[in-house]
Amino acid sequence: MSSLAKTNLFKPVKVGPVTLSNRVVLAPTTRLRNTKTSVATDSMLEFYIERAKNNGGLLISEGGFTSPDLGAFPFAPMLYTDEQVASWKKITDAVHSNGSSIAIQIAGLGRTGDPKAFKEGGFPFTAPSAIYLSEESKEAAEKVGNPLREFTIDELHRVKEDFVIASKKAVERSGFDIVELHVANMYLLNQFLEETSNQRTDQYGGSIENRSRFVLEVVDAVSEAIGAEHTAVRISPYSRFQGGESVDAKVNPIVNYGYFVSELERRGKEGKRLAYISFVEPRISGADTVDESYTPDSSWLNEIWKGIIIRCGNLLHGDGYPLLRKFVDADDRTLIASSRYFTSNPDLVNRLKNGYPLTHYDRPTFYNVLSNKGYLTWPNYGETVDEEKILSSVPKALA
């Protein structure tokens, strides 16, 4: 592979409150190495340290939830209890001491959640509208007596406050530089934007403006609480994951998401510019290979949004990474994020800079709950790891 050292990828850039020495970003990557009660672990600390060393870039943590009633998901991150919040402070301190910056992605589940898990926690199964993700979800909800229902207006006020509280904890107590609101992949906030999951008849449903309204209210509330420069969003207009319709939707993603991004840009021009917009490139969700026939044009984002853009998805493919080069050298405000290849190449930044080959990821180990296999067993280029020693231990709570 050829070196990317002379591309814009290795030019410094200011993102929100931090200045990065390169434009390689660790994308949010769910790994389920928290404890069952969502406390960060010593293995997670090591994982982030390995990727912060000799980097100087931005790491975005795996998606975490605001509260149990929005994220009944064992082994995933959460910023709710004091123990959960304190455990992440040890990770952010370590990342900062190694010269890198760190953001956290926060989310809610909505209709993508497990109705049984919500029931066991004493919570209702709620979403923008009572439209099930699948027949399987409907059957599971009915079986446990926790049918999906629409959020009330009062509940939405509380949901908004949950995002604000979690964001303040993230910045003020856990030490994160930026909070990324997860408006992608058909998780809770994204469900408001899409007509297939939002058929409300009040001010939060119907028109494109109404479907965007609640998400923009969350963005505004979080920006007010922690500062717009500490706030970011992630969108995936073309994703088919978890019920996303992509270009098959009645309203083209450019129209739907173009309005949403236009509203973010308007706020930016008024002095409330977000740290960045993270954009998931058009792709078939979950595929190992690139579908060359599925290539909607995503250049409209640059036409509307004039702030920092982080692009992610299939950019580390092809000899010399032509798509990555195209995006990063097209302007001075585009960063490139990687998820899968960062799992198997802790020194990804160094490999891209020097043209070293990449180690392919191991999909079966992505979600090995409380296991270090496929998590801490990847060496830097030219080095080795003591896999037997690493696998002799399991992740333990940090707090």
375 catalytic residue (yes or no): no
Tokens of 240: 């088919």
DSSP 386: -
271: left (phi over 0), alpha (psi -120 to 50) or beta: left
Q: CB-based contacts of 189: which residues, under 8 Å, 6+ apart?
A: 107, 108, 181, 182, 183, 214, 215, 218
119, HSE (Cβ side, Cα atoms, 13 Å) = 12
Helix (H) or strand (E) holding 208: helix 208-226
What is each CA distance from 215 to 88, 200, 372, in whole angstroms? 26, 14, 36
Residue whose tokens read 């990555």:
324
DSSP 106: E
Tokens of 98: 């190694």
Number of other residues whose CB lies within 10 A of the CB of residue 40: 29
User: Roughly how many angstroms between the first and final C-alpha of the chain, as a whole number?
Assistant: 42
Residue 52 CA to residue 360 CA, distance in Å, equals 20
Residue 199 CA to residue 129 CA, distance in Å, equals 6
Identify the active-site residue in 48, 80, 187, 238.
187
Tokens of 27: 């994308």
What is each CA distance from 93 to 37, 44, 106, 293, 359, in whole angstroms? 22, 13, 19, 44, 28
Nearest one of 223, 220, 251, 227 to 237, comparing CA atoms: 251
Catalytically active residues are 187
